[in-house]
Structure 1
Amino acid sequence: MTVLLSVRDLSIGFGDGDSVVKDVSFDVEAGQTLALVGESGSGKTISCRAVLRILPRAAQIRKGTITFGTGQDQLDLATLGERRMRDIRGNRISMIFQEPMRSLSPLHKIGNQVSEVLWLHRGASESEARKEVLKQFERVGFPDPARAYDSYPFEMSGGMRQRAMIAMAMVAKPDLLIADEPTTALDVTTQAQVLGLIKDLQQETGMALILVTHDLGVVANMAEQVVVMHKGRVMEAGPAELILSEPAHPYTQQLFDAAPEIPDKDAVGIPMPNEDLILEMKGVSKTYTMRSGRGWKADKLIHACRGIDLKLARGKTLAVVGESGSGKTTAARIALGAELPDPGGEVLFRATSQDDPIRVHQMTRTERTLFQRKAQMVFQDPYSSLSPRMRIQDAMTEPLEIHGIGTPAEQREKAAEMLKRVGLNADMLKRYPHAFSGGQRQRLSIARAMMLDPTLIICDEPTSALDVSVQEQILTLLEDLQDSLNLSYFFISHDLAVVARIADEVAVMRQGLVVEQAPPETLFYNPRHPYTKALIAAQPEPDINRPIDLKLVALGAGSPDSWDDAFRFTDSVIPSLVEMEPGHKVRCHV
């Protein structure tokens, strides 16, 4: 094969500081997929940005060569003039960025943003560009390409925005595509479909691919060559099959050990005991009305949750799993009292085993104050949930000030104690959130939730955007806190491998309904519902011999109309949740 991109002895630094990327070398052959693997801060993304020369202003390439092209067409991108680099970017080398919402302009329609590539690099007219873009939208899986063309980014789901980014990168048919964590925050079913799409497009066009990721399961499904990076250096490099089967470097082995896996054993779990319930949801539904905005059109009803019955035992973890839009977070907000359920539904909370249940949506002021102290939430994005203008000390002590607990000195002492409990130092209290890594910010969010000594914590995707090693640390922390303080967790996730690690009971949701419910061992050993099977099949494993079964994923993650008659449902005909074996419920027609 012919080498398309060759990076040799690349070093990058900021200002007068030490180099953050040191002597990095790798080659990418035409038509080949190279995976750059490592944690956040390992130098993966900045090395790729150096290829396109889109580094931050303070950064400089201190040494090294970046050669792109074949035969007489070779160019040194590190020294190429800016005018010629503009011809390379988006044309011969394209990049898919990690967060599509930040990469797409919120003020311009999706179609115009994708068409811009053809206007700039191909001189295409508006009608020619639209025709080509609509064709590309169809190939990347938009159900209605014309509607997508005229939509703004905020009108699309995360998976659809990521497909738009792929279309933008692919529309000019580049020689090299750089995909920077293209599936990190996506549901596993959407992730599997996006990875399959990239692979299909790669085979059609023969382009080379650099895949930046920390997920070894994604690597096993996509890559031929692997480069493992840590603290700006290459730790290990070679064929994917060899590195995934026999990792030689301790750091690579550490990444393998940290990766969560779905259990593969013939075991049937015991249903979670229901004697001492801390939280109970009975017949909870939530319907929103979406106004049409046009007088002749009827308003549309959105069923976010339908007939949810869930029980959480004290000191246990109930995991609610499903894709974006399945109703997980709405159910959690109703459980916290932040949303009112439709008439007929109720949420019961018992602060201690001896207390009478409180009806969460009919609380007195005194009961609400008690409930807010005993039920706290850890959010998906810790950076958004911590004020950038408040020092950590102020953010930590704020709940105590609101509830009038302790003197300022006692509040600071409690904050320092909580930081130590989550593995951070008390001298960090004077810092601002931007001074911490993603994993540290998530620890801070957990510490803040613990300030009022709660008994119930709702965790909304607390590990979805974290590296596998940091994810492992957060899960271990949550387990330790649960064991020592007898905490109860309402744990929201789309990752079944994480759920298998932490949950005592799992409820799988799709389109506002619980479609299957069981202890994790039962669920993974004997899944009955097609959507549960799709979630399990979509979980990438770090084993090159066990690729994702895209057909099974597409079947279960598709429309309920495509399911077998026993599981099919519509807005008007919904089957009941039937107990198939002790503790194992499946929504099906009996």
Structure 2
Amino acid sequence: MTSLLKVDGLTIGFGNADPVVRDVSFSVAPGETLALVGESGSGKTLTCRSILRILPDVARIRSGRIIFAGDDAPVDMLSLSEPAMRQIRGNRISMIFQEPMRSLSPLHRLGNQVAEVLRLHRSMGRAEAKRTVLEKFERVGFTEPERVWRSYPFEMSGGMRQRAMIAMAMVAKPDLLIADEPTTALDVTTQAQVLGLIKTLQSETGMAVVLVTHDLGVVANMAQQVVVMNGGRVMESGTAAEVLGSPEHGYTRKLFAAATMIPEVAAPARAVAHDDLIMNLRNVSKTFALRTGGWRKQTTVTACKDVNLQVVRGKTLAVVGESGSGKTTCARMALGAETPDPGGEVLFYREPGALPMPVHDMSVSQRTAFQRQAQMVFQDPYSSLSPRMRIGAALTEPLEIHGIGSRADRRDKAAEMLELVGLNPDMMTRYPHAFSGGQRQRLSIARALTLDPKLLICDEPTSALDVSVQEQILTLLEDIRERAALSYLFISHDLAVVARIADEVVVMRAGVIVEQAPPETLFYDPRHPYTKALIAAQPEPDISRPIDLELVAKGAGAPSTWPEMFRIEGGIAPALQDVGAGHKVRCHV
């Protein structure tokens, strides 16, 4: 079959330094999916950006050719004029970027940004463009397309922004879609639906896909061809059946070994004892008022409703659910950053047997003490560290704020924290941009630990990391928990990660808890259709076990479409029932 895109001997370097991409070659045919697999820093994204000629200013393509099938004859993308490239970018070749907040304008509504592609390349009128965009929003999983059309990027969660980016890339039905970690920030059910959507568009339009990913489960479900990269070189390439079925290179086998998977469980576990709590969220709800503009009536959104979470001292409580399910809102209320609606309360217990401290009704001195004992690790390590502050200053800042130790003591503590997370204390003079994504996440953990907290709230701390770095971070969190006797409230959308670290799992959907149990019980005997969908949507690195999209669709659909026993309609949900051994399910008896 004739290639739609052919990359031949591509070499890229920065200045006079050694090349960061060396002699990379691959080709992709119409309707085919080629997966570029590897860890952060392997050269995958740089290779893809060179196709569209959107490399950093200091990067230079030193050799190679990139041939794309033009309208009349193949063209060399590296020799095209800039006006000709503008006709290709976003039209015949689209790209989904990994970090949607950097790729979307904060000053324009999402609908207008996506519709711009159609107005520029398809000359559509405003009404037709809006209708097309709303249809695409619905297909990428938005339940309220009109609200998304009116929203700004900062009003959306990370997963929702990524859905909007996917809609933008696919709305013009390109010949080639370059997808750079398109589902990293998405929950697994949305990931399964988006992957299914890409497959459907491929079958309808013959679109080719170059998929950049570190997830071998995604590769197994999507790709016909696989190219494994490390250190800017191609380590292994071939069909998906060959590479996934019988990997030859040691690096490929290492990626397989690091992949997280939901374990096969033989029997349910005993319930976790709730006799020594460090934090207790009781009947917390949170309602937000939305801007409507003009004279329109103000609307409200309920982020979470009547949520009860109990974090046991020295244990890990994991909260799992899709974007918009209320997980992060609960975490923010736990830290006092958001105030719950009347009727709910958040209690913190400093010591075993101590009287509870109401987090949202503290004196100044109590809040200062609480902030020392409860810290947060955020999802995005790129935005949680100041780009203008050296690492040493970032790590010592919490100590300065709380007036702890002398200047020398603070630097010693910062060095100690760097060693604790596996980094060299000599790195304190560097800025955050000098570190990889995995290293930045380690730095975020180190900063959270400088005050010796007792409770760590981790909001998707591994979602943006490749599998081997994810494995390192999870091992680090487990090790720190044992050494420092920490308690974790762990927010995630990945049940495979949760299976590794949690003592108890809470599954949330549409702002309410739908199921709660120890992980072994949850995987052995899931009851709720949404929990079943989460398990079914977890991709496995085995081409013979594809994602069951039908089962995912049943549980991931609107709560009003669930079986009658579990159905939520008009904001009215059944009660959370205890079905034995600490296993709770939201259902009608």
> What TM-score do the two structures reach when normalised by structure 2?
0.94
Shift of the 399–94 alpha-carbon distance from structure 1 to 2, 3 Å rule, reads closer
Quick one: distance in 2 between partners of 1:589 and 1:40? 47
Shift of the 90–374 alpha-carbon distance from structure 1 to 2, 3 Å rule, reads closer
- Aligned residue in 2 for 1:490: 489
Q: Return the offset for 1:498.
A: 0.6
Provide structure 2 residue ranges, at least 5 long, that are not aligned to the other structure: none
- Aligned residue in 2 for 1:276: 276
Bigger drift between 42-51 and 122-131 goes to 122-131
Cα-Cα RMSD: 2.4
- Aligned residue in 2 for 1:521: 520
- Aligned residue in 2 for 1:412: 411
Q: Is residue 167 of structure 2 the alignment partner of residue 170 of structure 1?
A: no
SS in 1 for 2:514: strand
1:334-373 to structure 2, matched below 5 A, reads 334-373=333-372
- Aligned residue in 1 for 2:424: 425
Q: Return the offset for 1:447.
A: 1.1
Quick one: distance in 1 between partners of 2:71 and 2:360? 71
1:49-88 to structure 2, matched below 5 A, reads 49-69=49-69, 73-88=73-88
Equivalent AA in structure 2 for residue 567 of structure 1: F
Shift of the 313–148 alpha-carbon distance from structure 1 to 2, 3 Å rule, reads closer
| Partner deviation per Cα, 1:474-500 (whole Å, 9 max, x = no partner) | 100000001111111011111111100
User: How many pairs align?
Assistant: 589
- Aligned residue in 2 for 1:214: 214
Bigger drift between 101-110 and 467-476 goes to 101-110
Shift of the 560–257 alpha-carbon distance from structure 1 to 2, 3 Å rule, reads same
Q: Return the offset for 1:218.
A: 0.8
The 8 Å contact of residues 141 and 190 in structure 2, kept in 1 or not, is answered as no
Q: Return the offset for 1:147.
A: 6.4
1:412-491 to structure 2, matched below 5 A, reads 412-491=411-490
- Aligned residue in 1 for 2:287: 287
Equivalent AA in structure 1 for residue 99 of structure 2: E
The 8 Å contact of residues 382 and 438 in structure 1, kept in 2 or not, is answered as yes
Quick one: distance in 1 between partners of 2:25 and 2:531? 42
SS in 1 for 2:574: coil
Quick one: distance in 1 between partners of 2:573 and 2:18? 62
The 8 Å contact of residues 221 and 547 in structure 1, kept in 2 or not, is answered as yes
Equivalent AA in structure 2 for residue 224 of structure 1: Q
- Aligned residue in 1 for 2:535: 536
Equivalent AA in structure 1 for residue 345 of structure 2: E
Quick one: distance in 1 between partners of 2:139 and 2:493? 26
SS in 1 for 2:543: coil
Quick one: distance in 2 between partners of 1:404 and 1:473? 32
Q: Is residue 33 of structure 2 the alignment partner of residue 48 of structure 1?
A: no
> What TM-score do the two structures reach when normalised by structure 1?
0.94
SS in 2 for 1:542: coil
Quick one: distance in 1 between partners of 2:437 and 2:498? 21
SS in 2 for 1:532: helix
Equivalent AA in structure 1 for residue 528 of structure 2: H
- Aligned residue in 1 for 2:205: 205
- Aligned residue in 1 for 2:397: 398
Q: Percent identity?
A: 69
Q: Is residue 108 of structure 2 the alignment partner of residue 102 of structure 1?
A: no
Q: Is residue 12 of structure 2 the alignment partner of residue 16 of structure 1?
A: no
The 8 Å contact of residues 2 and 70 in structure 1, kept in 2 or not, is answered as no
| Partner deviation per Cα, 1:12-39 (whole Å, 9 max, x = no partner) | 1111111100011111122111000111
SS in 2 for 1:9: strand
The 8 Å contact of residues 140 and 193 in structure 2, kept in 1 or not, is answered as no
| Partner deviation per Cα, 1:142-172 (whole Å, 9 max, x = no partner) | 6666666565545555555444434443344
- Aligned residue in 1 for 2:387: 388
Provide structure 1 residue ranges, at least 5 long, that are not aligned to the other structure: none
Bigger drift between 52-61 and 335-344 goes to 335-344
Shift of the 144–478 alpha-carbon distance from structure 1 to 2, 3 Å rule, reads closer
| Partner deviation per Cα, 1:362-383 (whole Å, 9 max, x = no partner) | 3334433322221111111122
| Partner deviation per Cα, 1:220-260 (whole Å, 9 max, x = no partner) | 11000000001100011011112112111111111111111
- Aligned residue in 1 for 2:37: 37
- Aligned residue in 2 for 1:93: 93
Bigger drift between 496-505 and 237-246 goes to 237-246
Q: Return the offset for 1:192.
A: 1.2
- Aligned residue in 2 for 1:512: 511
Quick one: distance in 2 between partners of 1:193 and 1:268? 30
Quick one: distance in 1 between partners of 2:336 and 2:157? 26
- Aligned residue in 1 for 2:259: 259
Equivalent AA in structure 2 for residue 533 of structure 1: K
SS in 1 for 2:242: helix
The 8 Å contact of residues 577 and 586 in structure 1, kept in 2 or not, is answered as yes
Quick one: distance in 1 between partners of 2:405 and 2:296? 59
Q: Return the offset for 1:389.
A: 2.0
Bigger drift between 566-575 and 320-329 goes to 566-575
Bigger drift between 377-386 and 219-228 goes to 377-386
Quick one: distance in 2 between partners of 1:498 and 1:578? 26
